[in-house]
Copies of this chain bind each other. A is one copy, B any other.
């Protein structure tokens, strides 16, 4: 199939229909009216802004979360913005179908209206990056910039976003570290089209710095400071935010996710197929078969999922998994890989190990023999010998991995995520076995299907 045909086919699935567009436009108009009216009735000078992919018309069919930003005048004190912003959000939400509180840098209201999720987020009405005071303020500027510069290439953005989703490289959340929607938009604007972005995948890595806002001319010093900072952090790309020279839009993009894009882009250009956009779900195989094939072992800690949002929980799970990796390697077990996540109310950490038993007797190095500590070591140990001037003794150690894990946890010798430490300490430790609901996760982990580039 040629690339144009593939793109046509994919666009048919991801471009919103006229009906959908009309419905969304109506919804937005309606919400804008409610927001203005409510704001006025509360005596507030607040402007409603739509931001995000709906406002930019770069959303994918069926994927319409509405971001309605409630912009307060710059002179509003932060405390007041928080309080009155929440009050206003609640008042708006009362006129919609349902709502709850959600938390980011500050709390906001998440409502539902006609089965569409509507986030009502208070912010400052910033005109320039110099006004930015809270993390969300920039969104208004982003939306404006994209609308001004996209010049009808909305479907190219849709294609790139869907492609990134298909290859599992979309989203800038800390536990994804992929491409944000805004980054995708900038790349399309910079290179001209979806295909040109793909064709430039190697070039953009080598060029490294993308500066669509022309900051290197306009604010040379600030831009250079950003570039140096991001270069020191060894980012794959430095994309100076066209609305703020202090920010790298690709700051959260990991080498792993960039690498996926790098290989998939080449492969797509070599052999275009809709499968890149809509991959088949990997066939779940048998995790026990994988263990046999590899001759390795699987250790799983299963524990109560703490009541935390993904943004907090997943990094803590990762941190804890890394903690086990380190602690176990100090104890003589090699961790070939790890994974962490949750399924229903249960969180898990999986570790792939080279073995699950250690030698029972190990060698303990002691001090130099002619010291006080040497004499002490000699007295205290049963079998003692010399190598050079150092004493050595046999030491009996715990042999099974489950005992080793218990001991490590008891002695607090594993670096664990703060919010999940206590749950992990009460975890069930499973060896070469997982409960039914984790079988697929275990397979995807052990086979590395979850991460494999190929």
Contact = CB atoms under 8 A, between A and B. Distances in A.
Nearest to A260: B386
Contact of A359 (B206, B260, B296, B387): B296
Given A294-B361, A360-B295, A361-B293, A383 B454 contact: yes
A69 B399 CA distance: 61
A452 interface: yes
A49 to B, nearest CB: 38
Contacts of A357: 295
Interface residues of A, number: 47
Contact of A255 (B355, B382, B388): B388
Given A336-B359, A359-B336, A363-B336, A452 B296 contact: no
A433 interface: no
Given A205-B370, A262-B369, A369-B262, A452 B385 contact: yes
B336 A452 contact: no
Nearest to A297: B359
A453 B361 contact: no
A336 B362 CA distance: 8
Interface string A428-454: 000000000000000000001001111
Contacts of A262: 369-370
A263 B383 contact: no
A236 interface: yes
A384 B452 contact: yes
A378 interface: yes
A361 B448 CA distance: 12
Given A296-B359, A336-B363, A359-B294, A451 B385 contact: yes
A256 B387 contact: yes
Closest 7 CB pairs of A and B: A295-B360, A294-B361, A255-B389, A259-B386, A256-B386, A354-B359, A385-B451
25 contacts: A202-B370, A254-B388, A255-B369, A256-B385, A259-B369, A259-B370, A259-B386, A260-B386, A263-B369, A295-B359, A295-B360, A296-B359, A296-B360, A332-B334, A334-B359, A336-B359, A336-B362, A336-B363, A355-B355, A383-B454, A384-B452, A385-B451, A385-B453, A386-B453, A394-B448
